Structure formats: structure tokens, C-alpha cells
Amino acid sequence: MSIGEVLEILRAEFPDVTVSKIRFLEGEGLIEPQRSPSGYRKFSHADVERLRYILTAQRDRYLPLRVIKDHLDTGRPDGAAGARPRAVGAEAAPAEVRLSRAELLEAAGLAEETLAQLEDYGLVTPVARWYDAEALTVARVSGVLAGFGLYPRHLRVLKAAAEREAGLVEQAVAPLQRRRAPGAAARAEEAARELSGLLRELHAALVRGGLKGVLGR
């Protein structure tokens, strides 16, 4: 398959994937497509499944690329080439991420100055000098947004919106958390995950609707 055909396959599940992203993953050594005599990339079905695993591990498990590469290179059960990790909310929880400041900067490809700004605006907060999966995601995405001229000072509104959404979820699951019946805590956790997913879906739809006027569609 060509890189365009691979994009067509993956975009149904990963709308944000781009040619540049695939080339970046190749440059980092996570995929190695064959080349035609004229130099064009040629992807196999195994390459597509490997890409699907990488993108899922980043999105659902917040794993740094170096960890994903280690899983793929060593063929560990939770990261064998072609295998797909279970999504958050399924049987397994996301892998724990615990990064030092230097490791976070490297994994996110972020400048020290940008991380300092994220911390100043309360977007990233270390716990006992360690950074978790959420901090890694915020740092990584913020670095990409900076390329579009959106800096930490612009992202404060997103933090406020996220806190309000978290409050809605907390309010909705509070009755379940107060129950003492067996399995109540698990049901509350499941409900919280479902509500969180629904709110993300609603938020994305509202943003897309708002952009229709901006883009003249």
C-alpha cells in the first residue's frame, strides 16, 4: 500500500493522523516500510497494524514513543508487533506513567520554557517532582499547538472547561458512589468513564459545528 492508502485506512479510527506523523514515526525507527525502486514507501498489512498499535498506545495509554518502541522491539505480550492494546475502560487500565522533568521534556519534545509556562498557568502539575500520563499528554499536545501560535496562556480556557466537565461527571456519579451495595464503586467508575467519553464526543461535535461558520461550510 502507498502512504495515502494507509492514511485512508487509519483515519477512520485516528482522524488526526497525517503523512508527516507517519514519516516522523518512521524517522524514530518505530516502523520500517519497504521502498520501491523509485523510492516510494510500500506498506504491508503488518505495517498498518503496527501503526495502529502505536497510535492506540499513544492515544489510550499515553505511552511515550520510547516505551512503545521498546514494547515493539522486545515483543512483550502487551506490545508485540501487530497487537492492539485494550482501550481504557476495557479489562485493563492504562499503563502507569511516571516521568522526571527531563524525561517529560524529552518524551513530549518540549522546550523547558514552554513547560515552565504550562506549570505557571496550572496546566501541568508535578506530584512529588514526577509527571503522570495526563501531564505527558498536555505537554505533548501543547508543544504541537505552539506551532500554530497557540501558547499556554491561550489554553487556560481549556483547563477551565475541563474542570467544569469534571464537575459534571462528579455530580452525575455521586449517587452511585454513596451506595454501599457490592460493585457500586466499580459501577461508579464505569459510569464516569462513559460520561467522560460522551462529553468528549459532544465537545468535539460542538467545535466542528463552530468551525463550519469560520471555514465557510
Predicted local confidence at residue 94, as pLDDT: 45
Burial of residue 29, with CB atoms counted within 10 A of its CB: 0-12 exposed, 13-18 middle, 19 or more buried: exposed
Predicted local confidence at residue 6, as pLDDT: 92
Predicted local confidence at residue 125, as pLDDT: 92
CB contact at 8 A, 78 and 71: yes
Predicted local confidence at residue 85, as pLDDT: 39
**pLDDT per residue of the chain (217 residues) written in tens, 0 to 9:** 899 899 989 988 888 888 888 999 998 889 999 988 888 889 998 899 999 999 988 888 777 888 888 888 776 534 433 344 333 333 334 456 788 999 899 888 889 999 999 999 999 999 888 998 889 889 988 988 988 899 999 999 999 998 999 999 999 999 888 888 888 888 888 888 888 888 888 888 888 888 887 766 5
**pLDDT tens digits, 26-47:** 988 899 999 888 888 899 988 9
Domains and CATH numbers, the chain: 3-74 (1.10.1660.10), 98-150 (no CATH), 154-217 (no CATH)
What is the b/e burial string over 131-151, where b = at least 16 CB atoms within 10 angstroms of the residue's CB?
A: bbbebbbbbbebbeebeeeee
User: Would you tell me how many other CB atoms lie within 10 Å of the CB of residue 54?
Assistant: 25
Picking from 169, 105, 180, 86, the residue whose alpha carbon sits closest to that of residue 143 is: 105
- Name the one residue in this structure whose C-alpha cell is 465557510: 216
Predicted local confidence at residue 216, as pLDDT: 67
Predicted structure pTM score: 0.54
**How far is residue 110's CA from residue 19's CA, in Å, rounded to a whole number?**
21
